[in-house]
Amino acid sequence: MHSIPGRRVILSLFLIFLLLPIYWLVNMSFKTNGEIVSTMTLWPHQPTIANYMRIFTDESWYSGYINSLKYVVINTVISISVALPAAYAFSRYRFLGDKHLFFWLLSNRMAPAAVYALPFFNLYSAINLFDTPWAVALAHCIFNVPLAVWILEGFVSGVPREIDETAFLDGYSFPRFFIRILVPLIASGIGVAAFFCFMFSWVELLLARTLTSVDAKPISAVMTRTVSAAGMDWGLLAAAGVLTIIPGALVIWFVRNYIARGFALGRV
Amino acid sequence: MDKTVNQKAWFLVLPVFLVVAFSAILPLMTVVNYSMQDTFGNNQFFWNGVGWFKELLDPSTDLGERFFASLWRNLFFSTVILAIEVPLGIVVALSMPRQGWTVAACLVTMALPLLIPWNVVGTIWQIFGRPDIGLLGYVLNSIGLNYNYVSNEFDAWATVIVMDVWHWTSLVALLCYAGLKSIPDAYYQAAQIDGASRWAVFTAIQLPKMNRVLLIAVLLRFMDSFMIYTEPFVVTGGGPGNSTTFISIELVKIALGQFDLGKAAALSLVYNLIIIIVCWVFYTVMTNAGADRQANKGVA
Amino acid sequence: MARIDLVDLAHSYSGNTADPESFALKPVTMTWRQGGAYALLGPSGCGKTTLLNLISGIVTPSRGKILFDGVDITPLTTQKRNIAQVFQFPVIYDTMTVGQNLAFPLKNRGVPKAENDARVAEIARLLDLTPYLGRKATRLTADAKQKISLGRGLVRSDVAAILFDEPLTVIDPELKWQLRSKLKALHRALDLTMIYVTHDQTEALTFADTVVVMHDGRVVQSGTPAELFDRPEHTFVGYFIGSPGMNIVPAEVRGREARIDGHTIALNRSYDGLPSAAKIEIGVRPEFVDVAPPAPGLLSASIERIDDLGRVRFARVRIGDAKFSARVPPGFSIPGEAAGLIFDPSHVHVYADSRLVEGSA
């Protein structure tokens, strides 16, 4: 009743479709460049972990990952922290300009990164944050904060007002109520919001590359600069790619229960 | 839920406002500034009024021609991927298992493409499609299809489209899945009792309940695809020639490549304006749908 | 219309091999008369929804059979059983009008349009929904939506029984009574078998001619409201029905006498040969025990509280360690804490291991 005939076939085909290019990347990451260029093999005939070793030992490579993680974490923390009180406000109160404010926020989520590339470049250079993880973290706020507010507002709305009122009657101050009572109740919502913030910040390339040069170079920049250099080290590139997938896979593995619960709460 | 009027709520909203304003308003002001000026170089600017905009919107100029060409490419691209991703996402959501460990396994697998940095997505497909080292390119060529996304326009488009479908269908599917999960069992039981066919269950129960999430999915996908930059850039670089040069690629070329600030700024503003209009439509439809639901609570 | 028979029906949500005490529904064999109005009454978790879902086919039983008019329908799906079910919250098809909602079951079965329209019109009239036929179903109030759910069940002329799973849960209190009366009127008019699940005894006792009381997965007693009130066959029934419920106190019973807390009271019947290992209890409703001034021949108790319910007063008293409720006769003024209790022997029942014992005359 719930699903459709042939669902196993459809689902399997779809999942295979998704996994195939990833498998190919993983496959390639364990091959030597010689094998890659000379033959087409479905699994490495001369498997090697040299590509991975290179990345783990070469500072210009692994620093890329660390830099990326830095700004993603900073951004997620900032986005969630400022979004929480705002989400509460939008959910519980009407105030002057609230609808317009909400719309303005949403429109920023939808802003094309390309439009901001040059202005951000100027702005962050001017305030000396250029080439630091803070520049990228703040720049990504323009997308992630509205998204976080939007998601969290839905979850706060799912908490009945009576709980707030009871807490205030019991003598809770607003900050204490917020931290002790509200936040635990919307924990799965925070999980969903954090997941999306992490996701969008981790994957974004344009701004991350524009706002950094040497010190804070994210892994995406390291990889693309490798591509534009002469002589393609495919195995190395593939290994680098595989390593960028791992944090995402880990994150989703750990929040899978929150996501499932968040979905089940029917917010969307 | 009834909301109380409370202007002090602005304090709660202030941090968000400041953070986003810092990131949004200041740069935008620079952009507006640049869009109305021209330069002799050496940081000397003079007033150009709406000159850049006129040039942008005039298909006979170089700038105008490039703008309109890339605009059509974007519209074509967005339409095609929506036509593929939305039905496919719905079908996949309907195919999800109901319970057990397979649910988590499917969710994780489906989420995987969504979590890959966009440049890596591009890299994956760049490699995958190459006839010499990529499985797809090799297989297609060995069955005689002469596939080459570097030199052939059609192949480049096909690759970019399939890549986007690979990348983002999961988002549509996950959103639809969330919508489906919120349907209480009693609805399906009632439908069984009413003798509804499988198709009737879909049209009478599942599709209406998925309305809201489908709307979100369609609008998110439309806007994100309209702004696409990284993935096609990595795979085709905008080529062959400029056959896959989308507006954002064009814009970055002008702004960061040529440093043609005035033209870039004008293009930015028009680009942003299109997005804002679509966003406004999105917002109005959503709030009307919400108001509708409120109104449904009490007439008899 | 059908007579429904349950033959050794039982169900466990954790599979057939589970411990029999853990079964959600313990084995039951009973008959539901055609055209009867039944209430399935019991507290949460007693198995009444399980039983209902077994009859409608939403759940397949671990064991046993279900017969409609003697035909074994256990392997049949819900669709083929000609059952209608009304759920706890209104289930309507959002995109359709009221009329389209009502027509849906007939449309799915290929009924020709003319007949379909006639049937819908008739049911709408019965349910007072005629003015809303053209309106979108989502726009109506909860009780109207429940009527639509009910209507979808009634519109099929071959429906064997209508099952209700606590259908008044989301209805506003002042409308509950209206809807209940409507259901009763419909039952009389259409002569359908109706099975109504609830945990509210008022709903059960006012709707049904036969109330089936369930407790812990078992059917404990089935009878008219009067029978349940006067002769509860299980202490649970005594305790659950009536407000306040029946008093149950441990006692020693021999012959025509029972000893409670050292005092003897007379019984109407003779009880000999009670199993010695069983738990023996006396059950009597507060309405049949009067409070009186303390006297040597009466069971003594101490009054803790008087509940004044307007037309009657009940005293909460204590006999030794046991709590007890008794009626305060009108006009009686309480002397102090000590009181005596006068029992009406014709309404005193004896229970062994919670089951009623039939004494001999």
CB contact under 8 A, A253 and B275: no
**What's chain C's Rg over C-alpha atoms?**
25
Q: How far is the C-alpha of C236 from the C-alpha of C220, rounded, in Å? A: 8
Which one of B125, B251, B280 has the shortest CB-CB distance to A21?
B125
Taking the CA of residue C105 and the nearest CA in chain B, the distance in Å comes to: 5
Which one of A5, A113, A199 has the shortest CB-CB distance to B229?
A113
Q: What is the pLDDT along chain A (268 residues), one digit of tens a residue?
A: 667 778 889 999 999 999 999 999 998 888 887 777 777 788 888 888 888 888 888 887 888 888 888 999 999 999 999 999 999 988 888 888 888 888 888 778 777 777 777 788 888 888 888 888 888 898 898 889 988 998 888 888 878 888 888 888 888 888 888 888 888 888 878 887 888 888 888 888 788 888 888 888 888 777 776 554 445 778 888 888 888 888 888 877 777 776 666 555 544 4
Chain A residues with CB inside 8 Å of B103's CB?
A: 260
What's the length of chain A?
268
Give yes or no for residue C16 having a pLDDT over 70: no
Which one of A5, A206, A220 has the shortest CB-CB distance to B229?
A206
Q: Looking at residue A225, what is its pLDDT?
A: 63
For B33, name the nearest residue in chain A, comparing CA atoms only.
A119
What's the length of chain B?
300
C78 plus C198 within the same structural domain: yes
Give yes or no for residue B90 having a pLDDT over 90: yes
Q: Which domain holds residue C111?
A: 4-233
* Residue B233: CATH number of its domain: 1.10.3720.10
Band (B298; pLDDT cuts 50, 70, 90)? very low
Q: Looking at residue B166, what is its pLDDT?
A: 96
Pairing of strands C63-68, C71-72: antiparallel
Secondary structure class of C252 (helix, strand, coil) = strand
Instruction: Please tell us whether the domain made up of A52-264 is placed in CATH 1.10.3720.10.
Output: yes
Q: Looking at residue B63, what is its pLDDT?
A: 82
Q: Is B189 left (phi over 0), alpha (psi -120 to 50) or beta?
A: alpha
C217 plus C329 within the same structural domain: no
Taking the CA of residue C175 and the nearest CA in chain B, the distance in Å comes to: 13
B vs C: CB pairs below 8 A: 63
Is A22 in the B-facing interface, judged by CB distances under 8 Å? yes
In a domain, C265, yes or no: yes
Residue B69 burial (C-beta neighbours within 10 Å; 0-12, 13-18, 19+): middle
Q: How far is the C-alpha of C213 from the C-alpha of C190, rounded, in Å? A: 25
- Tally of domains within chain C: 2
Residue of A260 and C202 predicted with greater confidence: C202
Q: Looking at residue A227, what is its pLDDT?
A: 54
Residue of C147 and A43 predicted with greater confidence: C147
- Tally of domains within chain B: 1
In a domain, C240, yes or no: no
The predicted model gives C79-108 an average pLDDT of 88
Band (B2; pLDDT cuts 50, 70, 90)? low
- A139 token code pair: 């720049």
| Residue of B4, B115, B250 to mutate, testing the A interface (most A Cβ within 10 Å of its Cβ) | B115
Taking the CA of residue A59 and the nearest CA in chain B, the distance in Å comes to: 20
Q: Which domain holds residue B195?
A: 56-117+165-285
* Residue C296: CATH number of its domain: 2.40.50.140
Question: C211: which residues sit within 8 A by CB, 6+ positions away?
Answer: C38, C39, C41, C204, C205, C222, C223, C224, C225, C228
Q: Looking at residue B164, what is its pLDDT?
A: 95
Chain A residues with CB inside 8 Å of B115's CB?
A: 199, 202-203, 245, 248-249, 251-252
| Residue of C80, C94, C155, C174 to mutate, testing the B interface (most B Cβ within 10 Å of its Cβ) | C94
Chain C residues with CB inside 8 Å of B187's CB?
A: 91
Strand order in the sheet with C348-352: C247-250, C280-284, C348-352, C355-356
Q: How far is the C-alpha of A90 from the C-alpha of A95, rounded, in Å? A: 9
C277 plus C193 within the same structural domain: no
For C128, name the nearest residue in chain B, comparing CA atoms only.
B300
Q: How far is CA B49 from the centre of its chain?
A: 32
Structural domain spans, chain A: 1-48, 52-264
Q: How far is the C-alpha of C88 from the C-alpha of C292, rounded, in Å? A: 47
In a domain, C112, yes or no: yes
CB contact under 8 A, B186 and C108: no
Which one of B31, B95, B271 has the shortest CB-CB distance to A7?
B95
Query: Which other chains touch chain B, taking contact as 3+ CB pairs less than 8 Å apart?
Result: A, C
Residues 150-169 of A with CB under 8 A from B: 157, 160-161
Which one of A119, A138, A234 has the shortest CB-CB distance to B127?
A234
- Bridge partners (DSSP) of residue B44 are B41
CB contact under 8 A, C77 and B192: yes
Say if CB C168 and CB C180 are below 8 A apart. Answer: yes
Residue of C141 and A36 predicted with greater confidence: C141
Chain A residues with CB inside 8 Å of B221's CB?
A: none
C36 plus C119 within the same structural domain: yes
C226 plus C275 within the same structural domain: no
For C98, name the nearest residue in chain B, comparing CA atoms only.
B300
Is A237 in the B-facing interface, judged by CB distances under 8 Å? yes
- Residues B219-274 have pLDDT tens digits of 888 888 988 888 888 888 887 888 888 988 888 888 777 777 778 888 888 888 88
In a domain, C173, yes or no: yes
Residues 159-218 of A with CB under 8 A from B: 160-161, 199, 202-206, 210
Domain final residue pick, C170, C202, C233: C233
Give yes or no for residue B285 having a pLDDT over 90: no
The predicted model gives B145-156 an average pLDDT of 87
Which one of C83, C96, C143 has the shortest CB-CB distance to B193?
C83
Secondary structure class of C314 (helix, strand, coil) = strand
Taking the CA of residue B23 and the nearest CA in chain A, the distance in Å comes to: 6
Q: How far is the C-alpha of B158 from the C-alpha of A128, rounded, in Å? A: 43
| Residue of C54, C89, C106, C108 to mutate, testing the B interface (most B Cβ within 10 Å of its Cβ) | C108
Give yes or no for residue B39 having a pLDDT over 50: yes
The predicted model gives B143-151 an average pLDDT of 86
Q: How far is the C-alpha of C71 from the C-alpha of C60, rounded, in Å? A: 17
| Residue of B1, B13, B270 to mutate, testing the A interface (most A Cβ within 10 Å of its Cβ) | B13
C252 plus C218 within the same structural domain: no
C148 plus C290 within the same structural domain: no
Taking the CA of residue B52 and the nearest CA in chain C, the distance in Å comes to: 50
Dihedral in degrees, nearest 10, Cα atoms C177, C179, C183, C185: 70
What's the length of chain C?
361
Q: Looking at residue C150, what is its pLDDT?
A: 87
Which one of B1, B6, B276 has the shortest CB-CB distance to A95?
B6
The predicted model gives C232-240 an average pLDDT of 89
- Find, among A155, A158, A161, the residue nearest to A191 by Cα: A155
C252 plus C228 within the same structural domain: no
Question: C191: which residues sit within 8 A by CB, 6+ positions away?
Answer: C1, C35
Is A117 in the B-facing interface, judged by CB distances under 8 Å? yes
Give yes or no for residue B297 having a pLDDT over 70: no
Say if CB A242 and CB A26 are below 8 A apart. Answer: yes
Q: Is C44 left (phi over 0), alpha (psi -120 to 50) or beta?
A: beta
Say if CB A122 and CB A170 are below 8 A apart. Answer: no
Q: Looking at residue A230, what is its pLDDT?
A: 40
Is A26 in the B-facing interface, judged by CB distances under 8 Å? no
In a domain, C241, yes or no: no
C136 plus C266 within the same structural domain: no
Query: Does the interface ipTM go beyond 0.85?
Result: no
In a domain, B50, yes or no: no
